[in-house]
């Protein structure tokens, strides 16, 4: 078994160490107390190990540690443990860095009275319900342990970080997904002159469909052609069909990739459900 060689003691409970020429973050009560660079660490003192890949990740984490106090660092580590326990998939260790970064600056904004709106929180909840539930617990822990009061919108931001760490999606990809959903709903509401109920089952189904459609577009997967059904829907629900055409054009613009016309069939059927919901009220 290899040895952990100290590179830097970040505080009494957190160390940066070298293990087989890879830098890792070691967590343990008192593990960094009185320790100096080059010393070996007894493995029985190590409670948790996080691997930060690449020089930039490692240097960024060192910088962040110096920007806050031990209470915040300890809370973030506890939160990462909670996420790993509650999450449905394997959580990448990089979440330690991304959440530390996010929470430090979220606390600074809170302290300065700066409120960041989250216009896509409903879309995030519908797209990633499991991550949203975990994020709700995270915000509850932050408020309790740090004596602060993060707004409900913070749940949406943290849910994206959790999903990103499980599925290895970039934050840019996920923000793009939520924006496509939001723009599609705006088109539906404008053209059908309705207010979409974002707590409804119909909305949740529509969001899942858009999510899968975006994923198909990104990997160039083409749904089967259904020309006869498309003609029937175009004739029977012309307004909904035209809305579907607008959404496809919007997706092409947002994703910078072609969206196959076969998507129109499924989109039209989902859009018609919103019309039916309004008529039934």
The pLDDT value given to residue 281? 43
CB atoms within 10 A of CB 55: 9
One CATH from 1.10.10.10, 3.40.50.1260, 3.30.413.10, 1.10.1790.10 for 181-280: 1.10.1790.10
The pLDDT value given to residue 251? 94
Distance of CA 163 to the CA centre of its chain: 4
Residue range(s) of every CATH 2.30.24.10 domain in the chain: 5-51
The pLDDT value given to residue 1? 52
The pLDDT value given to residue 279? 54
Indicate the pTM of the whole model: 0.75
First to last CA, the chain: 67
Phi, psi values for residue 138, rounded to 5°: -60, -45
User: How many whole angstroms separate alpha carbon 70 and alpha carbon 237?
Assistant: 60
Q: What is the pLDDT along the chain (281 residues), one digit of tens a residue?
A: 568 898 888 778 888 888 887 778 888 888 888 888 888 887 888 888 888 777 788 788 888 888 888 889 889 988 998 999 998 888 888 899 899 999 999 999 999 888 788 888 888 898 899 999 999 999 999 999 999 999 999 999 999 999 988 887 778 888 888 899 999 999 999 999 999 999 888 898 899 889 888 888 887 877 777 888 888 889 999 999 999 999 999 999 999 998 888 889 889 999 998 877 655 54
One CATH from 3.30.930.10, 2.30.24.10, 1.10.1060.10, 1.10.1740.10 for 5-51: 2.30.24.10
Distances (CA, A) of 10 to 72, 103, 146, 253: 13, 18, 20, 46
Which CATH number is 70-167 given? 1.10.1790.10
User: How many whole angstroms separate alpha carbon 33 and alpha carbon 152?
Assistant: 38
Distance of CA 57 to the CA centre of its chain: 19
Where do runs of H (alpha helix) occur along the chain?
A: 55-65, 70-86, 95-111, 121-127, 129-146, 153-167, 171-192, 201-218, 227-236, 238-255, 263-280
Residue range(s) of every CATH 1.10.1790.10 domain in the chain: 70-167, 181-280
């Amino acid at each position: 078994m290899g040895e952990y060689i100290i590179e830097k003691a970040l505080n009494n409970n957190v160390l940066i160490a070298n293990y087989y020429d890879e830098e890792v973050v070691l967590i343990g009560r008192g593990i960094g107390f009185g320790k100096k660079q080059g010393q070996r660490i007894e493995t029985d003192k190590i409670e948790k190990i996080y691997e930060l890949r690449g020089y930039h990740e490692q240097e960024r984490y060192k910088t962040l540690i110096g920007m806050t106090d031990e209470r915040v660092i300890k809370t973030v580590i506890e939160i990462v443990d909670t996420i790993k326990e509650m999450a449905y998939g394997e959580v990448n260790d990089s979440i330690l860095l991304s959440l530390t970064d996010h929470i430090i600056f979220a606390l600074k904004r809170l302290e300065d009275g700066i409120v960041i709106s989250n216009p896509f929180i409903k879309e995030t909840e519908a797209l990633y319900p499991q991550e949203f539930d975990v994020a709700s617990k995270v915000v509850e822990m932050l408020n309790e342990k740090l004596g602060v009061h993060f707004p409900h919108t913070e749940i949406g931001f943290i849910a994206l970080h959790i999903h990103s760490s499980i599925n290895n999606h970039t934050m840019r990809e996920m923000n793009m997904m939520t924006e496509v959903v939001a723009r599609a709903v705006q088109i539906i509401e404008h053209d059908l002159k309705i207010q979409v109920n974002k707590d409804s089952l119909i909305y949740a189904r529509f969001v899942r469909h858009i999510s899968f459609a975006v994923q198909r577009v990104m990997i160039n997967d083409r749904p089967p052609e259904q020309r006869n059904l498309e003609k029937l829907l175009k004739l029977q629900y012309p307004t909904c069909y035209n809305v579907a055409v607008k959404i496809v054009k919007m997706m092409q613009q947002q994703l910078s990739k072609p969206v196959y016309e076969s998507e129109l069939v499924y989109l039209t059927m989902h859009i018609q459900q919103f019309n039916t919901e309004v008529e039934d009220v």
